[in-house]
Each structure stands twice: as structure tokens, then as C-alpha cells.
Structure 1
Amino acid sequence: MGHGDMNLIQYSCGGEIAKVTIHNPPLNVLTDELLTELDKAVSDILQEESTRAMILTGTGKKAFVAGADINQFSVLTKETGKELVDKGKRIFNKIANAKFPVICAMNGLTLGGGLELALACDIRIAEENVKMGLPETGLGILPGYAGTQRLTRLIGPGKAKQMIFTGVTFSAVEAHQVGLIEKIVPNGEAYIEGMKIAEQILMKGPVAIACAKNAIDNGIDMPLADGQRLESDYFGELCETEDMQEGVKAFKEKRKPTFLGK
């Protein structure tokens, strides 16, 4: 099992479930240094062939991530502003495009860049006290880490515009009602629930999970007919895997399958 403890990021990899913890108390703000460390942690995890799921969380009880480092905004130019958000997009895209599921365990305030980071994950779990929102327009800017894009695809343009135009924060209940998060858990239990979900994922075929994730993520922007063709292609490919044969055999023998990812 590999471990990495940097100044602002702690992570473990090498097993089937990788973990990344953002550690920049008290509010886990996304500074440039933190983003650089997050990039390294995610890159290391992606290189581990054994990784089947990843959990992303934050330290403390106040915040998962309470946004980006506002102190850097006042000196930004058109060019440096674009460079800033493009760096974040590149790192968040690595998370979004991972071949395995990424689970975000939100344990406190999830604002601005923090919510955009959560949006890059596949499954979002929030504790009861979590507040989330995109307050950037109150600073005269807009969500720049793909918030305008991912939020819209997740909850629809109307609710996305409401959140972004007004900067309102949603409670965990409100976020769940609009489909922004998948589950609400008692305070202190987001990571525990994330592990439960990750362990459920480990029981399934890893190649099937990767194909299903690609079919969903890529198909959502396609016309329905094209998305269905993509789905059929993946289904055909899976029919020739050892995992499919093992899954069918285990079902017939009424036992748990042993998937090898082949």
C-alpha cells in the first residue's frame, strides 16, 4: 500500500480502494499549492492498476472544501485567470475520467471550487450539516472549474442557473431533492458510507464498471441512437471477457464471483 503525506494532501493507494484527503485547515481552501499536490496524488493513484475505487474527502468538521483561494483573484489578468481555471479543469478532468468510480464524501461546507471538485466525482455523499453552493457571481466572476458545465448536466439548466445567478447555498436535503447528491448521512459518517459503497463496487466486474462509466459519461452528450450504439459496442466487448464467463458461472453455481478484471 502506497502512502503520500504532503503539506495539504494525504493519500493512500496500491490497494483496491484509494483515498485522498484534503488537509488545509480550517476550511480546506483550494490554493495553488493544494491543487498541485492533488494533481500528484491523483496521478499516482491512476497509475496503480489495482485501484478499483477512490474516495475523496476532507479533514475536520467545518468544510469539505470551502472554495478557492480568493486572495489570488485581485491580481489576475485575462491570461492568468484563464491559466488558473484551466489548471483546475485539467486536474478535475483526471478525476472525472478515471476508469474506476470516484466517491466524494462531503463532511462540511462545499462551496465554489469545492463543489466543482465534488461534481467531478461519480457519486456524492453529504453529511446532514453540509451546505453547498457556487457563490462566484457575488465576486464578479463565474464558476471556472467546469461548474457551469457539470452542474447543468447533472441537475438541469434551470436549477443550475438558480444556484449560479443567485449564489444561494443548498442544504443537504435541498441538494438531494434536485439530484445534486446521491445520499445524506448523519454527521461524521460520510467517509464510512463512502467505504460501504466502494466495497459494494468491488464485488462487481471491474471491466464492466469501467465500460458502464464510459457509456454513461460519453453517452449523455450523444443523440439517443448514438448512445445506444455505444452501449451495444461495450456489451459486445464484455461478452468476450473472462469476467463475464466467471460472472455467469458463479451465478449458476450460486456463489460469489471472483473477478480478475480480464
Structure 2
Amino acid sequence: MMKPEINDHVAVIRIDHPPANAWDLTTMTDFGKAIAQVESDPSVRVLIITGAGDKFFSAGFDVSDAENTAAISNLGRDVWRRLDRFPKPVIAAINGYALGGGLELAMACHFRLLADAPRLKMGLTELNLGIIPGWGGTQRLPRLVGRAKALEMILFSQTLDAREAFDCGLVDRLVPPEQLLDEAMVMAKRLAERPPVAVRCVLDAFSAGTYEGLDQGLMTEAEGAGTVRQTEDREEGFAAFKEKRKPRFVGR
């Protein structure tokens, strides 16, 4: 069972399905439940997703569970979209190979930190099997690396090493492998100190603009601006500014 590790407002979920952290129906179902638990837990302000072990973040779909392809794919699309629209910041700490559905998962997270390991590869290699990326890859990859680069990666099943992934904008930061989770935790704790209601409103506005278009994004932003004006955190933020001290946000 995949359970979140929760400490100081930060949850860590480890994809743990040896040897390649690939997605069979059981793993996908457990992961979806862990995501739901984090989303509903008011004590959690930030989520980190990483892979168990040191070789794979996730190698994507588990071909040994082909009989459950439809169920796994439907869950993958739904859970990845849920993460893309998650109300709390999500950091992918990419500790190893991220291929196919594994890369699609990383792209659905808000931030991507990548282990700067020499043999690590990332790519959407589905066309090598005569199939296509089906868990959001055709939509999220061009938003990160541009249309031409995304087409090249997908149509030629091109894989990138760590430096190439960083240079084209696929990941946000390269980190020495032994420091990856520590760096992700530092970032998560900084995010956890931000005003949770305001953070959620920003993420909602981003999501609305992406999924429903600019007009809806602007409307959601305006609604969020009205929401935060009524919060205790807004009062605390203004008081801390006047008193020249660090604010202590409580999420109300």
C-alpha cells in the first residue's frame, strides 16, 4: 500500500513498484488513493512525488498488466489531470528514468527537480510500441518545450539526458542525486510557509486559464482576490509587514 509520509505540512509519496516503478492497476489505484488522502488532509500544504530506489522515477505503463490497459489508462488520465489541477503545490523529485506515463506524471506536477545523473533518460517513447502518449503527454509536453521540440521527441521517441531536459525547459532544476530529496524538501518547506488560501487561489487561477481559457482564468483570479481579502492570513500579512517581522500564516 502506497501511503503518504507526512511531516511539517509536507507529504511525500514514493512510487514503489519494483523494479521500474511502472503502473499496473494495483499501483495506480493505490497512488490515486494516496493523492486523495493528501488533498483532503488540511495539515498538508505541499506534496512531493518521487520514485522508490535510485534508478527509476517511473518507467510508465506496466506491460505485464496488459489485460487492465483500459482501466489503468483511464485512471492515469484522471489522476494526472487531478495533479495538474491540484489545490496544493506538487513537486516532482525525479530520481531516475522518467519514461512514458512516468514523464507524463512529472509534467503534471507544478515543479520538476531532476537528479543530475549521467545515465538518466526522460522521454515519451510510446511510438516505439506503435501507440501514442495517452496520459496527457501530447498536451503538456509542448507547453513546456515548445511545439516543434515536443513533436520531435514524441514522433521519434527521442530521450533526453538530464542536461538536455534542463536546457529545453522540461525540468526546472538539476540537483546532485544525493541531494535531490533534501532540495525538494527545502523547496516544499518554503512553499508550506506561504499563505495556504492564497496559494490555492493562485493555483486555481492558473488551472482555470489553462483548462477553460483566459476569460475564465481572469474571472477565477478575481474571485480569488476577493476570497483572500476575507482571510486571517491577509490580516497577519499586513500586520507582519508593518511590524517588520516574518508572517505566520495559518491557512484561514
TM-score relative to the length of structure 2? 0.92
> Shift in Å at residue 39 of structure 1?
1.3
Identity %: 38
* Cα shift readout 1:35-64 (whole Å, capped 9, x = no counterpart): 111112112222211110011111111111
Give the whole-Å Cα distance in 1 for the aligned partners of 2:213 and 2:78.
Answer: 26
> Shift in Å at residue 192 of structure 1?
1.0
Aligned to 1:218, which of 208, 232, 242? 208
Residues 1:87 and 2:80 are matched in the alignment: no
> Shift in Å at residue 81 of structure 1?
4.7
> Could you tell me which amino acid in structure 2 is paired with residue 161 of structure 1?
L
* Cα shift readout 1:133-191 (whole Å, capped 9, x = no counterpart): 00001100011111112222333322211111111111122111222111100112221
The residue number in structure 2 matching 1:31 is 24
Aligned to 1:201, which of 191, 216, 223? 191
Residues 1:160 and 2:153 are matched in the alignment: no
The residue number in structure 2 matching 1:238 is 228
Aligned to 1:128, which of 84, 109, 116? 116
* Cα shift readout 1:217-248 (whole Å, capped 9, x = no counterpart): 22135554553343233223222222111111
> Shift in Å at residue 82 of structure 1?
4.2
Give the whole-Å Cα distance in 2 for the aligned partners of 1:26 and 1:189.
Answer: 22
Residues 1:138 and 2:128 are matched in the alignment: yes
The aligned length equals 250
The residue number in structure 1 matching 2:15 is 22
Call closer, same or farther: CA 1:28–1:81 in 2, change over 3 Å. closer
Give the whole-Å Cα distance in 2 for the aligned partners of 1:140 and 1:179.
Answer: 27
Q: Say which SS state the counterpart of residue 189 (structure 1) adopts.
A: helix
> Could you tell me which amino acid in structure 2 is paired with residue 112 of structure 1?
G
More displaced 10-residue stretch of structure 1: 34-43 or 215-224: 215-224
The residue number in structure 2 matching 1:183 is 173
* Cα shift readout 1:116-140 (whole Å, capped 9, x = no counterpart): 1111211110011232000001100
Call closer, same or farther: CA 1:226–1:33 in 2, change over 3 Å. closer
The residue number in structure 2 matching 1:3 is none
Q: Tell me how large the CA RMSD over aligned residues is.
A: 1.9
Give the whole-Å Cα distance in 2 for the aligned partners of 1:114 and 1:184.
Answer: 18
Give the whole-Å Cα distance in 2 for the aligned partners of 1:191 and 1:227.
Answer: 33
Give the whole-Å Cα distance in 2 for the aligned partners of 1:228 and 1:96.
Answer: 18
Aligned to 1:111, which of 91, 95, 99? 99
Gaps of 5+ in 1: 1-5
8 Å CA contact 2:114–2:162 kept in 1: the answer is: yes
Residues 1:258 and 2:248 are matched in the alignment: yes
The residue number in structure 1 matching 2:217 is 227
8 Å CA contact 1:13–1:48 kept in 2: the answer is: no
The residue number in structure 1 matching 2:47 is 54
Q: Say which SS state the counterpart of residue 61 (structure 1) adopts.
A: coil
> Shift in Å at residue 207 of structure 1?
0.7
> Shift in Å at residue 83 of structure 1?
3.8
8 Å CA contact 1:103–1:123 kept in 2: the answer is: yes
8 Å CA contact 1:107–1:188 kept in 2: the answer is: no
Give the whole-Å Cα distance in 2 for the aligned partners of 1:131 and 1:100.
Answer: 28
8 Å CA contact 2:121–2:162 kept in 1: the answer is: yes
Give the whole-Å Cα distance in 1 for the aligned partners of 2:103 and 2:132.
Answer: 13
